[in-house]
Amino acid sequence: MLIFLYNLLTAYIIPGMMLAFGICLFFLTIPDKEELKNYAFARKVMGVTFLVYCAALICETFSQQSLVGDLLNSMIVIAIGITQAFLFTYSLIALLDISFFTKRAAFNETLVVAVSIAAAFVLFAVCPQDSRQYVFYAFSLFYMLLMARYVALFNHYYKHYRQLMDNYFSDSERKRLHWVPVAFYSAFGVGIIALLFAWMITPLTQLLFMLTAVVYYSVFAVRFMNYVYIFPKIKEPLEDSACEVTDTEEMPVDVSADNASADITATEDDQSLMEQIERLMQEKALYKTPDLSIANVATLCGKSHRVVSTAINHCRGINFKTYINEYRVAEAARLIEKGWLKQHTLDALASETGFAGRVNLYRAFKRKTGVSPTDWETKVKQ
């Protein structure tokens, strides 16, 4: 019964779904806008990923070979896993940084993957029967090392992306591609399951693996095709990653949320601009503006957002998000001390101080003061 269900899934249902999703991802119309170039490119790569998986399932069906107990099929599972890991990683990183996936980089990585897979299968074919298991062990090890490399690569680019966002937006709002790391690590989990499946192929593990894969691929495809709305909102900070700035004084400094840049000396221009920014915050309470971005501040200062970011980084040693949230937390603490929470909710307090919601208020407040807003109220009463 399990074998029948597995054959039904792999021969008809899953290949048909992967083919449909692949065609939609690759050919479905995308608005011809400059801010969607990351998304358009990544979606075409992802369309290829789905079509490759569909082709692999069809080839398996036409081979008329049972997967159970066949070491060659275990090699095929690993090869498919390597291909999918490569395509998923590169397409998701392309969402974060379009300049990452250049033609040269794509060719080099494709060559490495293709040559490695080809070499493994050639070696498997020429080895004596009793030595083929060692080729499979080596191939599995290569797969694990490649997965580790892709995790490190993705983390590097996602960290850089987060720095760009924190130097541009004042809150952890919806404009953050939060779904991208979730998708990547979910794909990584499927890749680990594929490795376990290759080592323990049975009718039950076949069925469980295919069900896991089809659920993930289906959810991913639907979510990915509906992801187009977010890129126009993050176009400008993403351009910081792609463009080349020759004036190093205009490049924002990479700083963590609380890491002071003591080794960076602020120039007179930085200090003058910082005084102007401080006046906007103190006299006009600009930090209370919902969904505030550094572009809003830059417009009022008559400067580019990169120059404003640099001034904050150099003079305060923190990013734009942390700088604005310090004002918001200070205002929230002041209102709490005046008894605000006796007549208002935390949601109202968040709205009054410029936060996107109570969760954002709670996190920023506790990070700055070490206690929650309600605990701060208790502390003030004592």
Question: Can you give 207-250 as a three-state secondary structure string?
Answer: HHHHHHHHHHHHHHHHHHHCCHHHHHHCHHHHHHHHCCCCCHHH
Is residue 252 situated within a structural domain? no
Please indicate, yes or no, whether residues 20 and 113 belong to a single structural domain of this protein: yes
Tell me the C-alpha distance between 111 and 105, whole Å: 10
SS3 content of the chain, % helix, strand, coil (to 5): 80, 0, 20
Please indicate, yes or no, whether residues 152 and 273 belong to a single structural domain of this protein: no
Is residue 160 situated within a structural domain? yes
Please indicate, yes or no, whether residues 37 and 183 belong to a single structural domain of this protein: yes
Domain boundary among 206, 239, 272: 239
Is residue 304 situated within a structural domain? yes
Tokens 């410029």 sit on residue: 354
* 3-state secondary structure (DSSP) of residue 169: strand
Please indicate, yes or no, whether residues 214 and 95 belong to a single structural domain of this protein: yes
What is residue 82's predicted lDDT score, i.e. its pLDDT?
93
- Return the CATH number at 194: 1.20.1070.10
Domain boundary among 182, 211, 239: 239
Please indicate, yes or no, whether residues 127 and 193 belong to a single structural domain of this protein: yes
Judge residue 247's burial from the number of C-beta atoms within 10 Å of its C-beta, 0-12 exposed, 13-18 middle, 19 or more buried. Answer: exposed
Going by the DSSP 8-state scheme, the letter that residue 18 receives in this structure is H
Is residue 245 situated within a structural domain? no
Tell me the C-alpha distance between 328 and 361, whole Å: 8
Concatenate the DSSP letters of all residues of 262-312 into one string: TTSPPPHHHHHHHHHHHHHHHHS-GGGSTT-BHHHHHHHHTS-HHHHHHHH
Domain extent for 271: 257-381
Please indicate, yes or no, whether residues 160 and 227 belong to a single structural domain of this protein: yes
Is residue 49 situated within a structural domain? yes
Please indicate, yes or no, whether residues 234 and 262 belong to a single structural domain of this protein: no
Number of domains, the chain: 2
Please indicate, yes or no, whether residues 8 and 123 belong to a single structural domain of this protein: yes
* 3-state secondary structure (DSSP) of residue 373: helix
Please indicate, yes or no, whether residues 49 and 156 belong to a single structural domain of this protein: yes
What's the pTM?
Answer: 0.82
Element (H, E) at 116: helix 103-126
Please indicate, yes or no, whether residues 305 and 201 belong to a single structural domain of this protein: no
What is residue 322's predicted lDDT score, i.e. its pLDDT?
93
Please indicate, yes or no, whether residues 281 and 200 belong to a single structural domain of this protein: no
Domain boundary among 185, 205, 239: 239
Is residue 115 situated within a structural domain? yes
Please indicate, yes or no, whether residues 36 and 157 belong to a single structural domain of this protein: yes
Is residue 250 situated within a structural domain? no
Is residue 166 situated within a structural domain? yes
pLDDT in 10s for each residue of the chain, 382 residues: 656 666 666 667 778 888 888 898 888 877 777 767 778 888 888 888 888 888 877 776 666 554 444 788 889 889 989 998 998 898 888 888 867 767 787 788 889 999 999 999 999 999 888 889 999 999 999 999 999 999 999 999 999 888 888 888 888 655 567 888 988 999 999 999 989 988 987 777 777 887 888 888 888 888 888 777 777 777 777 776 555 333 434 444 455 555 444 446 778 888 999 999 999 999 999 999 988 899 999 999 999 988 999 999 999 999 999 999 999 999 999 999 988 888 889 999 999 999 988 888 999 999 999 988 888 888 776 6
- Return the CATH number at 307: 1.10.10.60
User: What is the four-CA torsion angle of 308, 317, 154, 36, rounded to 10 degrees?
Assistant: -10
